[in-house]
C-alpha cells in the first residue's frame, strides 16, 4: 500500500526555483498496478525517487505499508527499498556486465534469499514484466 498526500518538490537552479511536484496525491492499494506517464521533464522520475525515499519531498506525507517514510533513518529506508521497492528503468540503469536475470536477482542475493527462492522470484518478475525472451541478454 502506498499513500502520498500533498507532495511537493522544488529544485533550485541559481536564482530560479523549479517546482517539479505540486501537491501530488496518490493512493495505491496492494496488488494494484499504476502507470506514471508524461512528457520528458514532467517529474516522473522525481516522483518515483521521492516516493521511494531516494530523495526527500519538500513537504507532504508518504506512507508505505502503514509506515511514514520521513520517520525512517537512512538504513531503514535502504531496508525498505531492498525488501519492498523495485525499479526497472527504461534505459541505462542496469549493471551492464550483468544480464537481465542477474540484474533482477542481485537485490534478492543481497537480501540473503536462498538460491531456490532467488530463481523462483526472478522468474516470476521476468514473466510479469514480459522479459522472458530477453532474460539472458
Look up the domain containing 123 and give its range: 100-134
Tell me if 112 is assigned to some domain.
yes
- H or E segment and range at residue 59: strand 59-64
Q: Under DSSP, is residue 123 helix (H, G, I), strand (E, B) or coil?
A: helix
Q: 80 and 104 share a domain?
A: no
Same domain, 23 and 63: yes
Do 78 and 11 belong to one domain? Answer: yes
For residue 125, the surrounding DSSP H or E stretch is helix 115-128
pTM for this entry: 0.70
Calculate the CA 63 to chain-centre distance. 14
Q: Residue 88 gets which letter from DSSP?
A: -
The per-residue pLDDT string of the chain (137 residues; one tens digit each, 9 = 90 and over) reads: 999 999 999 999 889 999 999 999 999 998 888 888 888 888 999 999 999 999 999 999 999 999 999 999 999 999 999 888 877 666 556 788 889 899 889 989 999 999 999 999 999 999 988 888 888 88
Q: Which residue has the cell 537552479?
A: 13
58 CB contacts (<8 Å, ≥6 apart)?
8, 9, 10
Amino acid at each position: 500500500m502506498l499513500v502520498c498526500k500533498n507532495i511537493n518538490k522544488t529544485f533550485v537552479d541559481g536564482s530560479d526555483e523549479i517546482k517539479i511536484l505540486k501537491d501530488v496525491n496518490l493512493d495505491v492499494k496492494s496488488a494494484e498496478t499504476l502507470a506514471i506517464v508524461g512528457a520528458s521533464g514532467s517529474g516522473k522520475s522525481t516522483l518515483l525517487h521521492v516516493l521511494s525515499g531516494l530523495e526527500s519531498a519538500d513537504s507532504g506525507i508518504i506512507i508505505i505499508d502503514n509506515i511514514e517514510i520521513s520517520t525512517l533513518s537512512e538504513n531503514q529506508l535502504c531496508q525498505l527499498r531492498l525488501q519492498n521497492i523495485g525499479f526497472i528503468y527504461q534505459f541505462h540503469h542496469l549493471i551492464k556486465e550483468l544480464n537481465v536475470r542477474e540484474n533482477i536477482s542481485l537485490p534478492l542475493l543481497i537480501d540473503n534469499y536462498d538460491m531456490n527462492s532467488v530463481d523462483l522470484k526472478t522468474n516470476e518478475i521476468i514473466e510479469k514484466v514480459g522479459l522472458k525472451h530477453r532474460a539472458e541478454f
